[in-house]
Amino acid sequence: MTTMGIIFANIYDSSLGSLTNKRTMASLPYGGRYRQIDFSLSNMTNSGIRHIGIITKHNYQSLMNHIGSGQEWDLDLEEGGLEFLTPFAMGHNGSYRGKLEAINSAKSFLENSTEDYIILVDSGVLCAIDFRKVLADHVASGADVTVVVKDGIANGKKQLDLAVRVDENNRVTDVAVDYCASEQYLASMGIFIIRRDLLLHEVTEAVAHNRYHFERDLVMHGFAETGMTVNAYRFGGIALFNESTTEFYHNSLALIRPEVRYGLFGSGLTIYTKVRDEVPTYYGDHSEIDDCIVADGCTLEGRASNSVLFRGVRLEENAEVRDCIIMQGSVIGEGADLECVILDKEVIVRPGAVLRGTKEHPLVFRRGEVV
C-alpha cells in the first residue's frame, strides 16, 4: 500500500483576521520557532509519505519561503517529493468555493500519481500523529473513507466543520456538518484517508453537480445518499484546533504547560522546521522571565510571564508582558505594559505604551505596526 498527501494551506484564513492578511494559515508562526504547516509535513514524512502536494489560494509567498525545497523534511527528491499546487500553476483564479473544487483544480496532479491512498490534511489542527496507524485502521475497517476524530472537542458551542457519532466498532452512524454538536459527537480533525481512484471519481461527480464542500458534499452526501461507508479513527493525543484568533492565542499559551508540550514534541515523532542560526538569548541583570517560551536571539531586560517570545524579540528595561505572544523581531519599548496581546512580526511598541486585551479578546497588532 502506497500513500500520498494533500495539505490545504488556506482553509480558515478568513477567521484569523489580520494574522493571515499577508500569509496563509499554514505559514502562521507557532511556538516561538515553528510554522503550523511544520506539523502536517512532519507527520507525513515521519509516516513514510514522500509525495505531497500543498494546495494554496493566495498569500503563499511566505509559505514557499519557509518550506523552500523541503530539505528539512527530506522532501527534496528527484521523484515524488513536494509540490506547491498554486492557482497559477493549476490554471485557476484561486477563488475556490470549497475543498472539492480545489482538489478538482489539482486533478492532473492526482491522475499522474501512482499511490493507492491519499491522506488529506488541514493545516489548522496541530498534533503529532503516525499516519501509518491511521492507514492500517482504515484498511482493516473496509470503509470507503476514514476521518480522524477527537473526543472532548464537541461541546454544543464550537461550530465544527464535521462531527460524527459512531458505534462500538467506530463505524460512523451519524454525520453533522457546520454544526455546534453536542458532547455525544466526535470532532473531525480535518484529516481523511481515501483511495486515490475513489477520490478522483467522487470529486468529478461532485463538481459536475455544483457540489464543492468536502465535508458536506462528499462525506455527508456520500454517507446519506450513496451508501458510502465512513470509519472514525480516534486520536488519543494532544490536538490543538487553531481555527480562530482566540483559539490560536489560547493554544499558543497552552504550549507553556508541560503536558501539552510533551504531547506535541515528546511523543517520539519529531516536528521539523526550517533551521535558522541565531545567537543565544541575552538576559539582562534585572530581567525577570517566568513561565515563558523563549526563542534564540532575544534581548530581554524587562519582565515577562506566561508568554511566548519568538526569535529576535527585544524587551527593554522596565517593560512588562503578561499572557502575550510576541512574534519575531518585535520591540517592546522601555516601561511599556502589555497584557493579553498578540504582536505580529516586527511590531514596535513605543516606550511607556499600555496595551491590554482580555483572554477572550486579545489585542492583535499587524506586522510592522508602530503602537
Question: What's the CA gap between 148 and 134, in Å, rounded?
Answer: 8
Residues 256 and 326 both lie in one domain: no
Residues 169 and 286 both lie in one domain: no
Residue 274 falls inside a structural domain: no
Residues 258 and 321 both lie in one domain: no
Residue 164 falls inside a structural domain: yes
pLDDT of residue 25: 92
pLDDT of residue 94: 56
**CB distance 302 to 322 below 8 Å:** no
Interval 31-86: pLDDT, tens: 999 999 999 999 999 999 999 999 988 888 999 999 998 999 989 887 788 999 98
Residues 217 and 332 both lie in one domain: no
Those residues of the chain that have pLDDT short of 50 are 89
- pTM of the complete model beyond 0.85: yes
Residues 259 and 306 both lie in one domain: no
Range of the domain at 39: 3-265
Q: Which of 265, 298, 332 is the last residue of a domain?
A: 265
Residues 198 and 320 both lie in one domain: no
pLDDT of residue 91: 52
Residues 225 and 289 both lie in one domain: no
pLDDT of residue 105: 87
| pLDDT > 70 fraction of the chain, expressed in percent and rounded | 97
Residue 288 falls inside a structural domain: yes
Residues 100 and 211 both lie in one domain: yes
Q: Say which CATH number the domain at 261 has.
A: 3.90.550.10
pLDDT of residue 90: 52
Q: Which of 203, 230, 265 is the last residue of a domain?
A: 265
The CA-atom distances, in angstroms, between 38 and each of 65, 76, 255, 265, 308 are 13, 15, 15, 12, 18
pLDDT of residue 97: 80
The CA-atom distances, in angstroms, between 339 and each of 126, 261, 317, 363, 367 are 25, 23, 17, 9, 18
Q: Say which CATH number the domain at 338 has.
A: 2.160.10.10
- C-alpha cell belonging to residue 330: 518585535
How many domains does the structure of the chain reveal? 2
Residue 232 falls inside a structural domain: yes
Residue 32 falls inside a structural domain: yes
Q: Which of 206, 230, 265 is the last residue of a domain?
A: 265
Residues 241 and 313 both lie in one domain: no
Residue 218 CB partners (closer than 8 Å, separation 6+): 100, 145, 202, 203, 206, 211
Residue 270 falls inside a structural domain: no
pLDDT of residue 88: 54
Q: Hey, is 150 helix, strand or coil?
A: strand
